[in-house]
Structure 1
Amino acid sequence: MIFDEFTIKSLIRPVADFPKPGVVFRDITPLFQSPRALRMMIDSFIQRYVESDFTHIGALDARGFLLGPILAYELNKPLILFRKKGKLPSDLLEETYQTEYGDAVIEVQADSLCEGDSILLVDDLIATGGTLLAAVNLVKRMGASVYETAAIVDLPELGGSHRLQDIGIPTFTLTAFSLDDR
């Protein structure tokens, strides 16, 4: 199926003043309610990564979990979960980071990656980049490297994709919204 950015972008619903006044939340759930849009999204990611040489896919809590398992299955890669604090058992590594709304903590199982592994990190959206940057730090602490970060949406004015690129982490998104896009 041919990728159609207009279709993808038109299905992402803006929700004003959520989760707090002044924020325009980009609701991706309509993309998953449309079989055509879901196939376009997944096929676009598969086409981009089918011949790539990373070893793992990392899905970020929570909406990265919508894409990560599908991509891991389609690309035949192990899936690593990066979860909010208190959701994973076993020996964990954790990283505190800033979000648009305050401090948060992300965790990963300490034995998830080894030296020489390379991971594609997947989330729904890149805003300030806090969650992805925290995941990058966890990956590096395990001795592995980040191949690229991928998301459905970039909000470039919030600087996350630029922050990732500034530390040498490539980013890929299917579409972007300006803060003026309503």
Structure 2
Amino acid sequence: MYVLQSKWKQDSKGSVKTDEVMKFTRGFKDLVNARYDRFNSKFNNKTPDIEEALNDAGTRFEIILVYSGQTPLADEPKRELDDLLGEMNDSSDIVSMRVYNQANIYNIISQGASGNPINLDVCLFEWGQTKEPYQSYYGQVSAREVADWWTKHSPKLFS
């Protein structure tokens, strides 16, 4: 489950403030502790999907913080996120974290389509083919396999 927080900084300077990160980490804790009354209606419309994920022992979380500032994440906000990871990953690693600032985002976008092509072996189930108007193949692929593609090749997977 991906949980993302984005912060727009009009002047594109600085980092995310500590209190903003604290609200994000508190919201994440509310999510995993099923305190849905603290969220808005858009969130609550997804409650059945969220509960299904929370009840699955195989669910892993990736918290992603994206901001338009140019400086790296400051020490205090980083400490808040590190504390959250330490608390959540007490017995096993179920939460990981990514932090992107403006420079990271620019690099992802500018390099997304460059480099070597992605070559994948794909195992299709219940497959078939069509010849008109173009030859094409279709079938089913496991979601876990697609998630592995993303882990290995993001963000170029969609370029």
Question: Which interval holds the TM-score relative to the shorter structure?
Answer: under 0.3
Q: Which has the higher helix share?
A: 2
Q: Which has the larger radius of gyration?
A: 2
Q: Which has the higher strand share?
A: 1
Q: TM-score, normalised by structure 1?
A: 0.25
> Which one has more relative contact order, counting CA pairs under 8 Å at least 6 apart?
2
